[in-house]
Amino acid sequence: MTGLKVCASRKKPKGADAFQISFPMRTNYMYGRVKRTLLQEIFALTLCLWMKAGAGTSLGTPFSYSAPGQANELMLIEWGNNPIELLVNDKAVTLPLSLGDGKWHHVCVTWSTRDGQWEAYQDGVQRGSGINLSSWHPIKPGGVFILGQEQDTLGGRFDATQSFVGEMSDLHMWSHVLSATDIYSLASCGSHLIGDVIAWSDTEVELHGGVARYPFDPCH
């Protein structure tokens, strides 16, 4: 059986993951659903993706993970006049990212249950970090990963005002904290690490409600 370390360092196959998904407008019915879930609790994570925000609007919710008993187990969200936030177990920190220029950006967030340490990266550069974000809380298993919508219940009850507008590609999630070197390498297209929790692939992401899929490789 292939170990996670081997899997995490292998180069991507061409084709299956060379695509983007597009959310052209705010709705409560357009979303992507990741077929995987967490089989056991995890104590650290890294979430990375390429995204291009829609012009002149708040970002909405690119990514949410709802677990049994906690709709806001893990989420990236910017809505209303609030800045971009990372939520873990319904606790939030503000991320000092600027994504409103209509260009593609590589974004990574890391978190560890140890002291609730978190980091935020934009285009390979660390923009912020902190502690005490849901310290000693494990991310619960058995939940639902949704792209483009905030979940008020497990896998549903979407609110159009919190929906993502824009495009995203190459979203991966790991069950450990990636190093700053690895994150820079991903953002500068020097490597392509595959997430052990979520790997971007057309067989892993189900699209609903008219979300469009286009061939795309952010590194070419």
- Is residue 1 assigned to a domain? no
Give the model's confidence band at 16: pLDDT under 50 very low, under 70 low, under 90 confident, else very high: confident
Dist CA 160 CA 26 (whole Å)? 5
Give the model's confidence band at 9: pLDDT under 50 very low, under 70 low, under 90 confident, else very high: very low
- Is residue 77 assigned to a domain? yes
Q: What is the mean pLDDT of the segment spanning 139-151?
A: 98
Judge contact between 106 and 124, C-beta under 8 A. yes
The answer on pLDDT for 81 being more than 60 is yes
Q: Detail the DSSP E strand segments found in the chain.
A: 19-23, 31-34, 44-53, 60-67, 70-78, 85-88, 91-94, 105-112, 117-122, 125-130, 144-147, 166-174, 205-208, 212-215
Q: What is the mean pLDDT of the segment spanning 85-107?
A: 96
For the stretch 110-119, pLDDT in tens is 999 999 999 9
- Is residue 183 assigned to a domain? yes
Give the model's confidence band at 14: pLDDT under 50 very low, under 70 low, under 90 confident, else very high: low
CATH number, domain of 166, equals 2.60.120.200
Helix, strand, or coil (residue 115): helix
- Is residue 147 assigned to a domain? yes
CA distances from 163 to 23, 115, 117, 152 (A): 9, 31, 27, 12
Total domain count, the chain: 1
H helices of the chain, where?
4-9, 180-187
Give the model's confidence band at 8: pLDDT under 50 very low, under 70 low, under 90 confident, else very high: very low
- Is residue 10 assigned to a domain? no
- Is residue 174 assigned to a domain? yes
Q: What is the mean pLDDT of the segment spanning 22-47?
A: 97
Judge contact between 45 and 171, C-beta under 8 A. no
Structural domain that includes position 44? 15-212
The answer on pLDDT for 1 being more than 50 is no
- Is residue 131 assigned to a domain? yes
Q: What is the mean pLDDT of the segment spanning 67-84?
A: 93
The answer on pLDDT for 18 being more than 70 is yes
For the stretch 108-143, pLDDT in tens is 999 999 999 999 999 999 999 999 999 999 999 999
For the stretch 168-201, pLDDT in tens is 999 999 999 999 999 999 999 998 899 999 999 9
- Is residue 32 assigned to a domain? yes
Residue 13's pLDDT is 46
